[in-house]
Amino acid sequence: MTNPPTATPPAAVAADAGRWVTARIGPKGFHTDVHAGLHDVVVDEPISLGGTEMGPTPYEYLLTAIGSCTVMTLRLYADRKGWPLEGATVQLRSPQSHEKDCEDCTKKKVGIGVIERRIELSGPITDEQRVRLLQVADLCPVKQTLERGIRLENVA
């Protein structure tokens, strides 16, 4: 005898829903509303591509994820070591334009092949600490995830 199907408890549904990032777009343009956890953000494209430029582009959010994860990783490491890192700044860019990707994505595989990065560290850290922190920057979990590759799976 098999067990009858049961409804998912509301608490389990609520807990699962908190892990989803939701993106919604309307009938025209590229303005996209995104809900992530307790936060709402806008993603858009430049006016030159038919957007309204009300928010960063998807690729800019990708760079944002890498940059923010990198500085958080540096802060975590410096704090654990008790090092006097007063601040870290990471600048990122892709030397290629994503406009061609937008035009060709339905015909061929596209994407950023290279991301350029600059890291500035401030505070009275030693040369040895600076070298180690620059090595630690490469351990950022988002960077590692992207370098390993990601498989996107559709679920019901």
Q: What is the pLDDT of residues 9-18, one digit of tens each?
A: 556 555 665 5
The domains found in the chain, sorted by start residue, are 21-55 (no CATH), 58-148 (3.30.300.20)
For tokens 């060709």, name the residue: 104
In this prediction the pTM is: 0.82
Could you tell me which residues are beta bridge partners of residue 41? 34
pLDDT for 15: 63
Mean pLDDT of 89-105: 79
pLDDT band for position 156 (50/70/90)?
confident
Q: What is the pLDDT of residues 3-44, one digit of tens each?
A: 444 455 556 555 665 589 999 999 999 999 999 989 999 999
Res. 2: pLDDT tops 50: no
pLDDT for 16: 62
Q: What is the pLDDT of residues 113-132, one digit of tens each?
A: 889 999 999 999 999 999 99
Two structure tokens written together for 139: 């351990």
The full DSSP string for 104-131 is HTTTS-------EEEEEEESS--HHHHH
